[in-house]
Amino acid sequence: MGSLRVSASRDSCVTSSLCVYRLPQVFDQDAEGRVVVVDEEPPDELRRELLRARRGCPTRSIRVEGPGVGDDEDGGGAQ
């Protein structure tokens, strides 16, 4: 268990699958292709990839929270 918390909005997800390709150990898809978070408290070692996934989400549906995580840390993204 890490100090990061991850959540995602299924309502705004457009099934681009970028998060699933980048971090299959954290994200998956349901039968409709919408994002499912399978590890809400991933290890800190995944911080950089999590922030990239957040930044790469076309609908900004991914939220990453934790010590030192801000909107500008990775160049943008929803928070």
Would residue 9 count as lying in a domain?
Answer: yes
Q: Rounded to whole angstroms, how far apart are CA atoms 76 and 34?
A: 22
Looking at residue 67, its pLDDT comes to 86
pTM for this entry: 0.83
Q: Which domain holds residue 53?
A: 5-65
Q: Which residue has the higher pLDDT, 72 or 44?
A: 44
Looking at residue 68, its pLDDT comes to 78
Q: Is the pLDDT of residue 74 over 60?
A: no
Would residue 45 count as lying in a domain?
Answer: yes
pLDDT tens track for 11-56: 999 999 999 999 999 999 999 999 999 999 999 999 999 999 999 9
Grouping H, G, I as helix, E, B as strand and the rest as coil, residue 43 is coil
Would residue 74 count as lying in a domain?
Answer: no
The token pair at 56 is 């790469």
Number of domains observed in the structure of the chain:
1
Would residue 57 count as lying in a domain?
Answer: yes
CATH of the domain at 31: 3.30.70.20
